[in-house]
């Protein structure tokens, strides 16, 4: 069945202007139709298998949106989550993603990402969903992120974890009960309490 440009664009628009190849096919847009629209510059390619209407304004968070579409079960974590919550001066050069320890590592062509394996309980705890450019992006809450930073402090750098804790402690987001709850899940309660006492 022939699908007009108008109908294909309407389908994209109804989905926030961005579709993965698989989702587009589910909605009746063939890969050949996508390639044709891409060739005629009706679409732009964000990454392998992710397409967006060219007529839309630039994305505010292109890396996080692209990752969310390619790896919907992953959660933005650690330094990328700190940056999202405004709790670090670090500029992550790769998107930090959490997957369950049993999940297959996602194949991401772009943006560059670093993947961490979390236990099932830790992966499920503290997930927030934020709408970015019409796409649902899963990110850990700031409380869970601080706990995660201490759990993975040897991989991201202990200085980053401590600086983030200081910033969090001074912020309006600071909720010690919530923080300790997630620290227990991540098994870092003792070390975080020690640093909290030192910076109080």
What own/partner pairs with CB < 8 Å and gap ≥ 24 does 21-27 have? 21/49, 21/50, 21/51, 22/49, 24/51
Q: For residue 109, what pLDDT band results from cuts at 50, 70 and 90?
A: confident
Percent of the chain with pLDDT over 70: 98
Write down the pLDDT at residue 178: 96
pLDDT in tens, 166-177: 999 999 999 999
Write down the pLDDT at residue 182: 97
Identify which of 141, 128, 152 has the alpha carbon closest to the alpha carbon of residue 182.
Answer: 141
CB contact at 8 A, 119 and 56: no
Q: ω into residue 131 within 30 of 0, thus cis?
A: no
**116 phi/psi in degrees, rounded to 5:** -115, 145
Q: What is the mean pLDDT of residues 3-30?
A: 87
pLDDT in tens, 127-152: 999 998 888 999 999 999 999 999 99
Higher pLDDT, 57 or 80: 80
- Two structure tokens written together for 171: 């912020």
133/29 Cα distance (integer angstroms) = 21
pTM for this structure? 0.77
Q: For residue 55, what pLDDT band results from cuts at 50, 70 and 90?
A: confident
Identify which of 147, 145, 131, 142 has the alpha carbon closest to the alpha carbon of residue 68.
Answer: 131
Q: Report DSSP state, residue 43.
A: E
Identify which of 89, 120, 94, 116 has the alpha carbon closest to the alpha carbon of residue 105.
Answer: 116
Sign of the four-CA dihedral 81, 138, 44, 56: negative
Burial of 177 (C-beta count, 10 Å sphere; 0-12/13-18/19+): exposed
């Amino acid at each position: 069945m022939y699908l007009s440009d108008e109908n294909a664009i309407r389908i994209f628009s109804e989905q926030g202007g961005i579709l993965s190849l698989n989702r587009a096919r589910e909605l009746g847009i063939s890969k050949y139709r996508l390639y044709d629209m891409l060739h005629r510059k009706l679409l732009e390619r964000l990454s392998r298998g992710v397409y967006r209407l060219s007529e839309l304004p630039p994305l505010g968070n292109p890396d996080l949106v692209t990752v969310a579409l390619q790896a919907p079960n992953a959660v933005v974590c650690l330094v990328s989550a700190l940056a999202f919550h405004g709790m670090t001066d670090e500029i992550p050069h790769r998107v930090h993603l959490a997957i369950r320890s049993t999940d297959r590592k996602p194949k991401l062509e772009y943006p560059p990402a670093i993947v961490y394996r979390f236990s099932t309980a830790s992966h499920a705890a503290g997930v927030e969903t934020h709408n970015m450019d019409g796409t649902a992006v899963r990110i850990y809450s700031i409380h869970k992120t601080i706990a995660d930073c201490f759990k993975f402090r040897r991989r991201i750098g202990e200085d980053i974890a401590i600086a983030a804790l200081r910033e969090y402690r001074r912020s309006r987001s600071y909720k010690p009960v919530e923080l300790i709850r997630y620290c227990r899940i991540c098994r870092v309660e003792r070390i975080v309490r020690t640093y909290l006492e030192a910076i109080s």
